[in-house]
């Protein structure tokens, strides 16, 4: 296992972090619940093999993740790791809720404090809310009374919003962002990552495999990887790309099986900062290009075509369709489009007024694409 300094906090962290949002599950009647014995075994095995960062959150596994993480960290394991959980910002309706939720989470984890407490899944509107609720006063108090060592935030929005949050508070101890070689210009992206580095805020990376999609590439991407002299696996390329950035402290992987854990431990034995050559970086760009070449509708998601007078959710429909083609996941398209139909946002609502095409900076034939997608859906499900 490789280790790097966790920003300026004065301790090191393993480059592989244990994300506890996809722990192994079993059926309990109709419900999926965590397979506690297996999950605890995996977390402890990961720590025994060198993982020193464990990450959970209030909503993971319907609230069960924090309890299981607490159980896994008993018998001396708590002292071996940096522990993070997150405030469910959406559940905060008044200022005192922040204290109440933190206390509830510490109780579930059965620990007196967490090393990092993050504002969860921050975006524009959640930042407005946290500012209105004086989040800095809350953190100041929680650090002072010892329940939290360092404040932080996890993030899902555009880069401008990332920079706004980053620069709003001098005491951020870390930021958690979605980052991988496909998303280098999405959300915080490389720009946000570099700025965090300049501010001395270490980064923890989530979705390094895009929810697992980068682990199972389509044929054109596989062909490129097979032709590359390194012979890295799809997972190795994804992790190596991120580990190369010095701003990145640890990379979270949500592991569901002992095999995935062992595979990750093997990969992270070799990953180092600056471990990619110029040729490797150029190759990662080629991989991205190969994925994007599979995107049939060149929609950038700019939203200029919205709102449609008929309520057709054009960018969402295109996004679901593109993703299914990029990752060869037909089921994802079907589920996504079925949801649009159920809510009355689908292409069949279109009356061909043309307003969206006039507004689209990419000059897309939106009406034709909507008809194509609608037809494809009905051919698949008939």
Residues 354-373 that bind ligand SF4 (CB under 6 A): 354-356, 359-360, 362, 364, 366-367
Which phi and psi (to 5°) does residue 175 adopt?
A: -130, 145
Q: How far is the CB of 216 from ligand SF4 (least distance, A)?
A: 27
Q: Which is nearer to ligand SF4, 28 or 342 (CB)?
A: 342
187/377 Cα distance (integer angstroms): 29
H-state helical runs in the chain? 36-48, 64-72, 96-109, 124-132, 135-144, 159-166, 189-198, 219-227, 234-243, 258-268, 278-292, 314-326, 330-343, 355-359, 366-381
Size of site (CB under 6 A) for ligand SF4: 27
Cβ 99 to ligand SF4 shortest distance, Å: 41
Give the side-chain half-sphere CA count within 13 A for 41: 11
* Residues from 269 through 328 that contact ligand SF4 (CB under 6 A): 299-305, 308-310, 312, 314-315, 318
Q: How far is the CB of 372 from ligand SF4 (least distance, A)?
A: 13
Q: 56-85: which residues touch ligand SF4 (CB under 6 A)?
A: none
R_g over Cα of the chain: 22
CB atoms within 10 A of CB 112: 9
* Identity of the residue, 247 or 374, whose beta carbon is nearer to ligand SF4 in the bound complex: 374
Q: Note whether 287 and 224 are within 8 A (CB).
A: yes
Residue with smaller CB distance to ligand SF4, 2 or 349: 349
Identify whether 307 is preceded by a cis peptide bond (ω within 30 of 0): yes
Residue with Cβ nearer ligand SF4 (205 or 366): 366
Residue 11 vs 304, nearer CB to ligand SF4:
304
User: How large is the greatest C-alpha to C-alpha distance in the chain, in angstroms?
Assistant: 66
Q: Which is nearer to ligand SF4, 60 or 318 (CB)?
A: 318
Interface positions with ligand SF4 (CB under 6 A): 299-305, 308-310, 312, 314-315, 318, 350-356, 359-360, 362, 364, 366-367
């Amino acid at each position: 296992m490789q280790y790097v300094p966790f920003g300026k906090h004065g301790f090191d962290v393993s480059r592989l972090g244990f994300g506890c949002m996809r722990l192994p599950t079993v059926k309990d009647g109709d419900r999926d619940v965590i397979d506690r014995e297996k999950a605890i075994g995996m977390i402890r095995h990961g720590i025994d093999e060198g993982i020193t960062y464990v990450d959970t959150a209030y909503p993971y596994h319907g609230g069960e993740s924090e309890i299981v993480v607490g159980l896994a960290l008993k018998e001396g394991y708590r002292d071996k790791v940096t522990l993070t959980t997150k405030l469910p910002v959406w559940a905060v309706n008044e200022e005192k809720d922040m204290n109440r939720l933190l206390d509830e989470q510490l109780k579930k984890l059965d620990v007196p404090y967490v090393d990092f407490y993050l504002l969860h899944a921050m975006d524009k509107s959640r930042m407005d809310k946290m500012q209105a609720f004086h989040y800095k006063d809350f953190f100041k108090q929680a650090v002072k009374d010892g329940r939290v060592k360092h404040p932080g935030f996890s993030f899902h929005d555009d880069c401008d919003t990332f920079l706004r949050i980053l620069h709003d508070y001098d005491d951020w101890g870390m930021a958690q962002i979605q980052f991988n070689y496909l998303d280098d210009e999405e959300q915080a992206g490389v720009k946000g990552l570099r700025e965090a580095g300049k501010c001395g805020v270490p980064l923890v990376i989530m979705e390094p495999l895009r929810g697992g999609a980068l682990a199972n590439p389509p044929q054109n991407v596989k062909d490129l990887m097979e032709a590359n002299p390194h012979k890295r696996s799809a997972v190795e390329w994804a992790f190596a790309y991120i580990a190369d950035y010095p701003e990145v402290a640890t990379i979270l992987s949500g592991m569901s099986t002992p095999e995935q854990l062992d595979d990750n431990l093997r990969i992270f034995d070799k990953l180092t900062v600056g471990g990619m050559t110029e040729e490797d970086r150029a190759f990662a760009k080629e991989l991205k290009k190969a994925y994007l070449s599979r995107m049939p509708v060149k929609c950038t998601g700019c939203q200029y075509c919205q709102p449609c007078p008929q309520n057709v959710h054009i960018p969402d429909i295109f996004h679901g369709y593109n993703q299914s083609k990029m990752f060869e996941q037909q089921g994802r398209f079907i589920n996504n489009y079925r949801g649009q139909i159920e809510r009355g946002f689908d292409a069949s609502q279109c009356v061909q007024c043309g307003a969206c095409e006039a507004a689209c900076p990419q000059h897309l034939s939106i009406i034709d694409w909507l008809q194509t997608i609608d037809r494809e859906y009905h051919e698949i499900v008939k």
